[in-house]
């Protein structure tokens, strides 16, 4: 039983590593504003799928790591991902019964909250965007949510992560 839990933790960790790699993958300059928030998408999935294992502590740790990788203000992503995880924990049971497109709408709002909190912190340091383009990753992430959900669900079920 401990081996199953350890392998489950390894799968969760590996998906976050992949999300970090996708987060720093070079994008063409014209598409940089549309870069999806991969770490937030993976976090939302695991919070909804396994709320007893992935929660606010994991979100805070994942956010700190993202701050270090992106060179953001230390604590910016940690704070915003913790808020997103808290909101996802509050409504994970409702999210599970929604269809894919309803879930995508909720994910859009969660990613939008993440983006707005990060933008607010960046504005405090005079590094924020001057337009609403900073919300574009939330829209792209919501559009990608059905694929992310189906892929991670298949991975979780095939590797028996509980």
What pLDDT is attached to residue 1?
A: 47
pLDDT above 60 for 3: no
Find the length of the chain: 162
CA distance 67 to 90: 25
Q: What is the pTM of this model?
A: 0.92
What pLDDT is attached to residue 62?
A: 97
In which band, very low, low, confident or very high, does the pLDDT at 4 lie, cut at 50, 70 and 90?
Answer: low
Report pLDDT digits (tens) over 7-64: 689 999 999 999 999 999 998 888 888 999 999 999 999 999 999 999 999 999 999 9
Q: Mean pLDDT across the stretch 70-93?
A: 95
What pLDDT is attached to residue 7?
A: 67
Secondary structure (H, E, C), 29-45: HHHHHHCCCHHHHHHHH
pLDDT above 60 for 114: yes
> How high is the mean pLDDT of the chain?
92
CA distance 162 to 83: 24
Long-range contacts of 95-101 (CB under 8 A, 24+ apart): 95/48, 96/48, 100/145, 100/146, 100/149, 101/146
């Amino acid at each position: 039983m401990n081996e199953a839990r350890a392998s489950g933790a390894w799968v969760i960790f590996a998906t976050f590593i992949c999300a970090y790699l996708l987060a720093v993958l070079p994008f063409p300059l014209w598409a940089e504003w549309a870069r999806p928030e991969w770490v937030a998408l993976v976090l939302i999935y695991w919070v909804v799928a396994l709320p007893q294992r992935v929660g606010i502590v994991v979100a805070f740790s994942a956010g700190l790591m993202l701050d270090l990788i992106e060179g953001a203000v230390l604590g910016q992503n940690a704070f915003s991902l913790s808020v997103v995880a808290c909101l996802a924990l509050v409504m994970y049971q409702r999210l599970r019964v929604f269809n894919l497109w309803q879930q995508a709408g909720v994910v859009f709002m969660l990613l939008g909250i993440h983006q707005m909190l990060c933008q607010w912190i960046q504005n405090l340091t005079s590094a924020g965007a001057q337009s609403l383009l900073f919300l574009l990753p939330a829209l792209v992430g919501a559009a990608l949510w059905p694929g992310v959900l189906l892929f991670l669900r298949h991975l979780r079920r095939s590797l028996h992560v509980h």
